[in-house]
């Protein structure tokens, strides 16, 4: 089995900044901020929704869809879905147009810092299925988050080969998948 873990780095070529590149975003995506500043929180979610709605997938997203690779994503941008994949969205999603009126009460919204990631358990269960003949592709996912480290560590502990694609994900993802196909691993 090949499984992909994706983070913000996969979407950079689609024009999306990482949270590290957007000062103040993390401070707004927590429960305390939502409770104290619901209107600003709503505005921030609406701005994210607009940016994500207008963004388009890049070849890294399309390559994963073309090869039908199961995906765990920490992203909430919806680009995997636009490319044709059905990822497990570890951190939730951004609300649809219809849901935007009350983003603080949504089922579909980005996870807030300090909350449990809504699909963490489901993602971990999938990673625990990886074994010594399997591969975890880590694409644009930093080692700064607990979830991405947990996933890497579980895969490696179970003997899976962990392949990091951190630089130029838009080109290197397809190249790695083509190489795996040449080796009859896909």
The residues assigned a catalytic role are: 91
Q: How far apart are CA 22 and CA 33, in angstroms?
A: 17
For residue 133 the two structure tokens come to 């003949």
65 neighbors 49 (Cβ within 8 angstroms): no
Of residues 111, 62, 110, the one with CA closest to residue 85: 62
Q: Tell me the C-alpha distance between 99 and 163, whole Å.
A: 37
Distances (CA, A) of 115 to 2, 40, 128: 29, 19, 23
């Amino acid at each position: 089995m090949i499984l992909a873990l994706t983070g913000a780095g996969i979407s950079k070529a689609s024009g999306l900044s990482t949270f590290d590149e957007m000062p103040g975003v993390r401070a707004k995506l927590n429960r305390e901020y939502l409770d104290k500043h619901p209107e600003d929180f709503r505005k921030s979610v609406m701005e994210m929704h607009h940016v994500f709605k207008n963004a388009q997938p890049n070849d890294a997203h399309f390559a994963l869809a073309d090869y039908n690779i199961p995906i765990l994503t920490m992203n909430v941008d919806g680009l995997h879905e636009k490319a044709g994949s059905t990822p497990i969205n570890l951190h939730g999603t951004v609300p649809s147009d219809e849901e935007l009126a009350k983003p603080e009460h949504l089922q579909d919204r980005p996870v807030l810092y300090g909350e449990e990631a809504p699909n963490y358990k489901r993602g971990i269960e999938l990673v625990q299925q990886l074994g010594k003949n399997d591969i975890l592709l880590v694409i644009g996912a930093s080692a700064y988050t607990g979830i991405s480290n947990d996933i890497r560590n579980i895969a490696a502990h179970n003997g899976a080969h962990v392949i990091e694609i951190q630089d130029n994900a838009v080109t290197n993802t397809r190249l790695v998948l083509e190489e795996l196909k040449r080796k009859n691993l896909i």
